[in-house]
Structure 1
Amino acid sequence: MDWVKTADFLDQLTSHRTDDLLDAGQRASVAELARRIRSGQRAALLADEVGMGKTRIAVALIAAVRHAGGRTAIVLPAGLGVQWQKELKLFQPDDQTLLPLRSYDGFIAGFLTDEDAEGNEKRRRKHIDRLTDRRQQRELPKKGWAAEEVLMISHTFAAMRFPNAGDGPAGGWRRELLPNVVRLLVGRRRNFMRDSFQRTEVSHVYASRRAAHTIADTITEHNLQDDPGLIGDLAGDYKWLGADEYKHKILRLIGYGLGQFDLIVVDEAHKARGADSSLSRILGPVSWEAEDPFRLGMTATPVELDSGQWIDTLGRISGRDDDEDVTALADLAEWINGYVDTVKRIQIEELDNPLTEGFESAASGFQDALRPYVLRRDKRNDPQVRAFQEVYGDYRVVKDLKVSPGTEGFTRDWLRRFCAAEALSILPQEDPRVKRARLSVAQGYGFGFTPDADLAEPLQVEDEFEGPQSFWIDAFCGQPADIYTHPAILAAAQRIESYTAQNEKVLVFGRFIAPMNALTRVLDAREMLRRLRDGQHWPAAKVRDENEPAVLAVMKDPDLCAPSDGIAAINQMLTARYKKWSTARRAELARLHREINALAPKDDIAALLVSFLRQDDDGEELQGDIGPLLGALGDRRERADAPWTGVEILDLFRGLLSDLSTDEEQENNDTLRSRLVVYLQDYSGREGSFARMMYGETLPQTRSLLQSAFNRASSWPMVLLAQSRVGREGLNLHEACRTVVILHAEWNPGIVEQQIGRVDRKGSCWLHDLKSWHEHAEGDPPRIRIHPVVVSGTYDDHNWQVLKARWMELRAQLHGEVLPKHAKHSATLPEIEALRHRIVAATPSFAPRDIDNEL
């Protein structure tokens, strides 16, 4: 690998002064990487603020390494694979990088061949078709893992598990790799005892032995067999190794099977910091690096809760993933802690000259210590943001959505429940009775008091409490809590609707499924009643059974003018309107069917579409997948209210099939149809779409669909509720939304930054609205709005205050926001103002050296 050639290629990229591939800030970062590579540096932490285009910079480096003949491993959360594939194609249009490698099963499957299946012809054909499909879907390599120029590996890949020696005959196929490698290295072969394996395992046994040959050949070719740390005593019997010990020995062998890498890119490099985490194992024994490798870490939040996390993150990109200390990094701790302590004083003490001088010294030391490693652009380096802030102040506004006894819907019953929860929270936690009581309260309380997994089964509170404790339990349990009337959920719905009424979209983040699901149903129920009141269409013929409690709860709002006869009357109205709409739809589809049918003889895609557009013989209703299909195509339209045309529906259908197929080979209609059926499952019986929820069980294809639909201003959903661990990273939700509601408090400010970053990105809705505002200059300038939902006076309120303190510390280290907020035009003494200017000037910056020239 020629790193000089790599740096030259990066310089060529920066010489282009257009924003087609790289904008000005990204070009400055690429130029800085080239400079550091030439100086001999082989590690960097790309820590740009969320939404500023880190991935594009990393892909530029990957393209340069490719050009120089090197290989790259991208270690990333698996859900980001498609996004990376799209970015890689920008620099190499014929790129065929595989989807992320997720598991040991996937690794071994990469060595499968068409001949591995046993049994009858049907079984063999099924094996071949499955293998072909996985290769077409870019799950498996065609020529082996080591032949891939760029290989994506999931963060969780090394979390693989192996059976113990006594689990099944010989431990099954999952324990075949290690003993076969050992025997091959000493010139022996391992006998294949067919009776030791299930028939369905045989193909994986063959693949495991093929992998063993590849690994043994690689070890021999590179003279690695004499390394005592490789697999230990080659003469030992690995049949009886425990699962953990077997895994420890096999990780390096897997690395040899994946091949040698010149560049390791670690996306979300701050995650799973423990030495025994899957990510650390990947960067340790699994990664087989060349003699002169480069590691590029990527994260917007290298530090989250503790300033010492700088050391963990930097250690990861510097090669310290075996839990051994690195003296050079350990020396940084003094400078980092000194800076953090000085910032805390700046934010609470009165400014004077000694304090300012102390900050200048600490900031200089902090910057000098981290600059060799860190490369970071933030919104201070964005000319549009900087221009806005100089005139109007912060472009983001955080305004708590306070929920208190004075809030609408905060009934006496709910007040008693909140009091019960707070009272139980101060009781001794070691007492199992208290734990059971707290879980019971949480189950009725229904608002993030405990993880949903803990509430899988109802808990009965025994009569074990006396005195005041018994009073609080009775106060809560006297009447079952109705989560649809929870004051925080009602307050959140009211605030959300204040934006959707102006045709603005809202992104909601939450941690716990039950209240998120309740808010989704409340929003849908309220929108349904509004549309019935106003004579508009609602896409359902009746209220689904699981939605009835939410509908009954929101019917109490007099503004919605719900029928007095309840659900039955609503269903009658929905049925009548749906039949009218369905009749019009059938007529429209008959017309579309004729148009597309005329195209079918000359267009295979049109012929496939015709098979989905069919009717019952009696003409009463459409059959098959037409409902879900039209829903999917409708989410792809630019204008949802425009009449359909045959040409448009065919083009949309062609685009949908293109997304479901691969770039490599033409697939038959049966294959495309099967994928389409799976894809449309999410549209079958969907509950309203004004508000949608995305959580852990949401299919990747559905997440992509929701992302696309939410980014179109004219299409539903208007509200997207995303579980924090699913939606806070990798999703671009910024094109039609600039409002974020945070339903549940987080402990980690880095998570909140990631959440806000879903809408605060390049090309955001806020920037578009700002441009429109400048053209008309009416009212206040637009801003990105963040609304944490805070129940005043509770532990939830305390949690938010702790989070905000941590948030200030994080932004001081990463965003240069050292001084406490003060009014833009508030009067200050000239001496104090001069000190403030000195502090701003001394604030650390890790931006590329040439960024001001580029901008």
Structure 2
Amino acid sequence: MKSTMEWSQVARRIEEIGIEYPKAFSREQQETLSFMAERLPRHGVIVADEVGTGKTRIACAVIKAVLDCGGRVAALVPRGLMHQWRAEFRILFGEALAPKELTTLSQWLGEDSPSPSSEPEWWLISHGFRYPKVTSRSDWSIALPSLVQLYSESPDAREHGRTQLGRLARYVEQNASKWWRWHNLVRIAKRVAPHVDGAPELRSRLLSLPLFVPNGNNQPLCERFFGDGDARELVCELLGAWLGHFDLIVIDEAHKSREETLSDETGSSTRQATKLLPALLAMLQQDQEGRRICLSATPMELDAADWGDLLSRARTGARPEPVQRAVDDLRQCLESAKTAPDQPSTLRALIDAARRFEAVLAPFVTRRRLFSEAQLQELRAHRPEAWELAQPHRQVKRHLVSLRDLAESESTNWRTMLSALEGYSHAAQGLDAAVLGKTAQWAKLIYTKLANGLVSVDDLEDESWLTEIPSELPPATAAKLERLKYWRRLFREARESLEQGARDAGVEGYDPNTEHPRILSAVEAIEAWTDRAVSEKVLAFGVFTRPMRDLRDVLNARHCVRSIDQDAPIAFSLHENSRLLAIAFRSAERMRKAGRLTGKLRNAPLSIEEFRELAEKAHRQYERVQDAIAENVRVRIDARVVKQFSDLDALSRERLRGIIRTLVLDEWLAGGRSEPPRARVVDELVQEIWRDHILPATGTDEASAENEESNEDRCARLAQWINLEWDEVQGRQTGFCRLMDGSTKWETRRSLQAGFNRPHGFPRVLIAQSQVGREGLNLHKACRVVVQFHAEWNPAVLEQQIGRVDRLNSRWWQLYEEWKKDRGDQSMPLIEVRQVMLEGTYDAFQWERVGQRQHTFDATLFGSLLPAEAWESVPEGLREELRAAAPNFDPGRSRGRSRS
């Protein structure tokens, strides 16, 4: 169905919303809304505002305008950010226009979920939405085409009991009354069936599929879903017809679908193209009058040509040839100017190329910086040494671990292991894969795996291919294998030396990987901030799961050591966990030698049994504090439940008390306190936790929490959150450092986000797998320090990571405003970034490569046409002109430019 909505009317409504809600939108955001109002009647738009500037709020205003004008909207959003979109829209415009949500089809089919309508409405659809996987034993997941065919036939045909259609109708009728999935599949089929009558080609494809056979052999139908079969494409088209026509499609994190580096549970990485988002866009129905808005703070990632991909996705209508030409010219001129910044002709060519690049993209792109030009000038004036930096309020440093330092420390064995596997990898170069199979490729990569903390002795157990070298091998290959045997033996001997030292001390459960130089270096970088008198929270990003888990365990174990040293309670039952006890015991000795302990552990080293007894005593102390505050928590929680969630069942109430008791304990013990809090303090903590954890989990706030009409729904959402959080809380013994990776439940991610944004309490350190935590999450309210634990290839990924804490109204922002009022002798507070790098390894090469790519990234997005160190060579007369020519898509400037 084609919409009758007029985009000129939408444009007027966008301008009106900016006026009607003056407190909701800053002046800069209102300029962006004006840009959108001017451009959307003609074509799609890219909103490339810098991380943390409120792109979601801008999109919500446009969505509201489209709805007010009778249109329908789909917002395609990463699943982990859907709750933030819902909350943002509710804060701005209330509950009346709440979105319908679609995460997975299985979830929608499994409950009483809202269906599309022809009325103005909008949908939040997860990037990962797709048709469920079909196997040879599938049942309901292959039935949709047959159900559509069933309901496109006449009632007489459906009631004919002897036909295959009739038997299917009877089966569906029986199951639809018992199972939500069949009930909802029928709802979809009945909505889509009328579309088939007016589409002969679609009907023909539908009839070509084998009909679903209830409780029968459906292998022929299943096979049409596999490989190059046409059933999956047809089902996606049917789902598009079910969802209906959309006037506006908003694509959040619109750069997604490019090639990504992924990590599996074993820590190995692969390269795969993400195709979910393009497939989802192909599913949704939109005519030529429909518009798209692409939101992305990093529209250019690995290559400036990425701009062309995004312009096409946004349906801007921009001609690809001029765009590609402008992009290529700018890229070439940037490279030339970087190597010859003192050549006027080279700089003039760069100025011309930058202006052409801006002119070609300006009709379709709006980009606001986090700071206005005046604010940037102010920051540079406060920090003159950073005058030419794209981000003068950030301090990015490499946190290096040199092989020389390893040789001079207790980690001598690790130097040997690193050197051995470097030699091992070099010796493997040129091995004949036809002779050695996959082992040859694995041997070449093992050194990079070790640098990232991924290699254990298990990876070298299989020696069968090196035990006896076949005489028929070419001499060069045989010589390589002999060298591999030598380097392999050197690695194993050094590893065995580490393990023998632990055995000699009577330590069971020792894992040498927890003392990997990368782990200990990251610990040093993190504790440089968490151990300060004014402790900072730290956000760490990694790629590979296994070393991130090791880092978490080491940080938690060291936190326990500090607590034991100061006679404070510990939540961890170290005395019952041999692995964590081993980490803590060896950490205690290392910390003692470094002078990091000042209490009961500062003197002569303890035996493992003595340390175990102290750990058990500290844990018993924790349990006493826990019991002491339990009653205070129970009284306060019960009062709130009765008032706001009266339908909550008894088991959920009991678990809710336990969850909040744990959170209160985390908050109270974070500062090393050992005595129970007073009742007044418990009340304040419960109130804050209720506001930051419980109400967001139910999609409500204090004002609407007492609305009796939605009490049952709120209680159902709360009970669901409690069940998920209860499992997580039961398995957690401390919250000092938490890990958020692909296995972390969505509800737990929201809880972690809320806890990390609280200035006091746990977690103090949050380790996030890059793909999980780098986009969309707001983690800025209590943190200004980012540690990049693993190297990346893509400067846009690094920018997204830093952008989790570098946002409007962040902790850094508050510190900066306070500093301006009373500077004293202190230097300006900064966003602090530390990049962990093993010097002299493959790690160093990867960091160097991403640094080279950073220049093009900064030039196109941050107005920095030259690297900071190159500006000293620029002739004085060209400096201002060069600065002024940097691409700038600020909406205040863009509105007066040429129109497409």
Say yes or no: TM over 0.5.
yes
CA distance in 2 between counterparts of 1:474 and 1:259 reads 65
Instruction: Report the alpha carbon displacement of residue 658 of structure 1 after superposing the two structures with TM.
Output: 3.4
Closer, same or farther: CA 736–68 of 1 in aligned 2, 3 Å: same
Out of 16, 29, 32, the residue aligned to residue 29 of structure 1 is 32
The 1-side partners of 2:614 and 2:869 are apart by 55
For 1:849, give the aligned amino acid: G
What is the aligned partner in structure 2 of residue 738 from structure 1? 784
User: Given the superposition, is the C-alpha separation of residues 247 and 233 from structure 1 closer, same or farther in structure 2, using an over 3 Å criterion?
Assistant: closer
Distance change >3 Å, CA 314–CA 644, structure 1 → 2:
farther
Question: Does the 8 A contact of 1:255 with 1:288 survive in 2?
Answer: yes
Aligned to 1:207: 184
In structure 2, what is the equivalent of residue 428 of structure 1? 430
Alignment-derived partner of residue 180 in structure 1? 147
Q: Find the counterpart in structure 2 of residue 245 from structure 1.
A: 230
* Preserved contact between residue 574 and residue 581 of structure 2 (Cα < 8 Å): no
What one-letter code is carried by the residue in structure 2 that aligns with 1:10?
I
Among 650, 653, 660, which residue is 1:629 paired with?
Answer: 660
1:551 to 584, 593, 596: 584
Q: Are 1:690 and 1:718, in contact at CA under 8 Å, matched by a contact in 2? A: yes
Residue in structure 2 matched with residue 761 of structure 1 by the alignment: 807
In 2, Cα distance between equivalents of 1:554 and 1:192: 69
The whole-number CA distance in structure 2 between the counterparts of 1:485 and 1:803 is: 27
Separation in structure 1 between the aligned mates of residue 612 and residue 653 of structure 2, nearest angstrom = 28
| Structure 2 equivalent of residue 152 of structure 1 | 124
Measure how far apart 1:383 and its partner are.
4.4
Q: Secondary structure at the match of 2:521?
A: helix
CA distance in 1 between counterparts of 2:318 and 2:642 reads: 70
Q: What is the CA–CA distance in structure 2 between the aligned matches of 1:87 and 1:757, rounded to whole Å?
A: 19
1:256 aligns with 2:232: no
Correspondence for 2:570 among 530, 538, 542:
538
Q: Which residue in 1 is equivalent to 2:844?
A: 797
Residues 758-767 or 573-582, more deviating: 573-582
2:489 corresponds in structure 1 to 474
Q: Which amino acid letter does the alignment assign opposite residue 248 of structure 2?
A: L
- Out of 679, 703, 724, which is 1:644 matched to? 679
TM-superposed deviation, 1:303: 1.6
Give the Cα–Cα distance (whole angstroms) in 2 for the partners of residues 650 and 412 of structure 1. 49
Change (3 A) 1:442 1:665: same
Offset, 1:841: 1.0
**Which residue of structure 2 lines up, in the alignment, with residue 484 of structure 1?**
514
2:474 alignment partner in structure 1? none
After TM superposition, the score normalised by the length of structure 1 is 0.84
The answer to whether the Cα contact below 8 Å between 2:626 and 2:665 also exists between their aligned partners in 1 is no
CA distance in 2, matches of 1:600, 1:389: 50
| CA distance 1:65–1:639, shift in 2 (3 Å) | farther
Which has the larger displacement, 290-299 or 461-470? 461-470
Report which stretch shifted further, 631-640 or 683-692.
631-640
Alignment of 1:149-298 (within 5 A): 149-158=121-130, 160-163=132-135, 167-168=136-137, 172-182=139-149, 184-185=151-152, 187=154, 189=158, 190-193=165-168, 204-218=181-195, 220=197, 223=198, 225-226=199-200, 228=201, 230=202, 232-233=204-205, 235-239=207-211, 240=220, 242-243=224-225, 244-273=229-258, 277-284=275-282, 286-290=283-287, 292-298=289-295
Q: Residue 536 of structure 1: CA displacement? A: 2.4
**Match for residue 302 of structure 1?**
299
> Hey, what's the Cα distance between the residues in 2 that align with 1:178 and 1:279?
23
Distance of 1:628 and 1:104 partners within structure 2: 31
Q: How much does 1:517 deviate? A: 1.3
Question: Which one-letter code corresponds to 1:60 in the other structure?
Answer: A
Given the superposition, is the C-alpha separation of residues 17 and 75 from structure 1 closer, same or farther in structure 2, using an over 3 Å criterion? closer
Deviations 1:761-817 (A, max 9, x none): 111111111111112213211111111111111111001100111111111111111
CA contact (8 A) 2:519 2:547 kept: yes
Change in Cα spacing, 1:573 to 1:99, as seen in structure 2 (3 Å) is farther
The residue number in structure 1 matching 2:452 is: 447
Change (3 A) 1:601 1:485: closer
Shift of 1:651: 4.0
Equivalent residue of 1:767, what SS? helix
Give the Cα–Cα distance (whole angstroms) in 1 for the partners of residues 699 and 684 of structure 2.
22
Q: Is the 8 A contact 1:635 1:709 kept in 2?
A: no
Q: Could you tell me how far apart the structure 1 residues matched to 2:644 and 2:180 are?
A: 36
Match of 1:526 among 558, 569, 575: 558
SS of structure 2 residue aligned to 1:785: strand
User: 1:569-580 maps to which residues of 2 (within 5 A)?
Assistant: 569-580=610-621
**Partner AA of 1:302 in structure 2:** P
Decide which of 761, 766, 772 is 2:818's aligned counterpart: 772
Higher mean C-alpha displacement, 206-215 vs 334-343: 206-215
Q: Which residue of 2 aligns with 1:747?
A: 793
Q: Which amino acid aligns with 2:492?
A: C
Q: Which residue of 1 aligns with 2:10?
A: 6
Q: Give the counterpart letter for 1:665 in structure 2.
A: S
Residue in structure 1 matched with residue 405 of structure 2 by the alignment: 407
| Number of residue pairs the alignment of both structures matches | 786
SS of the residue corresponding to residue 787 of structure 2 reads strand
What's the offset of the Cα at 1:686? Answer: 1.4
Following superposition, the deviation at residue 442 of structure 1 comes to: 7.2
- Is it true that 1:332 corresponds to 2:332 in the alignment? no
Q: Match of 2:464, SS?
A: coil
Counterpart of 1:570 in structure 2: which amino acid?
F
Question: Which of the numbers 746, 767, 770 marks the counterpart of 1:721?
Answer: 767
Counterpart residue number, 1:618: none
Contact 1:440–1:459, Cα closer than 8 Å, also in 2: no
Moved more, 426-435 or 363-372: 426-435
Assess, with a 3 A threshold, how the Cα gap between structure 1 residues 249 and 523 changes in structure 2: closer, same or farther: same
Residue in 1 that maps onto 2:364: 373
Do 1:709 and 1:715's aligned partners in 2 also have CA atoms closer than 8 Å? yes
RMSD: 3.5
Q: CA deviation at 1:573?
A: 2.3
Equivalent-residue separation in structure 2 for 1:471 and 1:57 (angstroms): 62
Distance in 1 (CA, whole Å) between partners of 2:632 and 2:118 is 53
- The answer to whether the 8 Å contact 1:77/1:267 transfers is yes
Give the equivalent residue in structure 2 for 1:702: 748
In 2, are the aligned partners of 1:399 and 1:786 still within 8 Å (CA)?
A: yes
Cα deviation, residue 355, structure 1? 1.6
Letter in 1 for 2:698: S
Residue 199 of structure 1, CA deviation: 6.9
> Structure 1 unaligned runs (5+)?
110-130, 320-325, 615-623
Distance (whole Å) between structure 2 residues aligned to residue 93 and residue 792 of structure 1: 53
Give percent identity, aligned residues only.
27
User: Does residue 1:59 correspond to 2:65, yes or no?
Assistant: no
Once the two structures are superposed, the pairs formed by residues 384-403 of structure 1 within 5 Å of their partners are 384-392=375-383, 393=386, 394-403=392-401
Q: 1:692 touches 1:719 (CA, 8 Å); kept in 2?
A: yes
Residues 548/148 of structure 1: CA separation in 2 closer, same or farther (3 Å cut): farther
Deviations 1:118-153, CA, capped at 9 Å, x for gaps: xxxxxxxxxxxxx3xxx5xxxx21x54666711011
Residue 463 of structure 2 corresponds to 461
Segment of structure 1 superposing worse, 71-80 or 371-380: 371-380
TM-score relative to the length of structure 2:
0.80
Distance 1:595 1:237 in 2: 60
Residue 113 of structure 1 corresponds to: none
Q: Which residue of 2 aligns with 1:621?
A: none
Are positions 1:666 and 2:643 aligned together? no
Change over 3 Å in CA distance of 1:526–1:675 after alignment to 2: closer
- Pairing 1:844–2:887 present: yes
Q: How far off its partner does 1:538 sit?
A: 2.2
Residue of structure 2 equivalent to 1:127: none
Unaligned runs of 5+ in 2: 159-164, 212-219, 260-272, 387-391, 467-479, 499-511, 701-708
* Aligned-partner residue type, residue 867 of structure 2: P
- Report what 1:678 is aligned to: 724
Pick closer, same or farther for the CA change 1:95–1:437 going to 2, 3 Å.
farther
Contact 1:63 1:91 (8 Å CA) reproduced: no
Matched, 1:82 2:92: no
Judged with a 3 Å threshold, the aligned counterparts in structure 2 of structure 1 residues 65 and 383 are, in CA distance, closer, same or farther, namely farther
SS at match of 2:540: strand
Moved more, 334-343 or 637-646: 637-646
Contact 2:39 2:364 in 1 (8 A): no
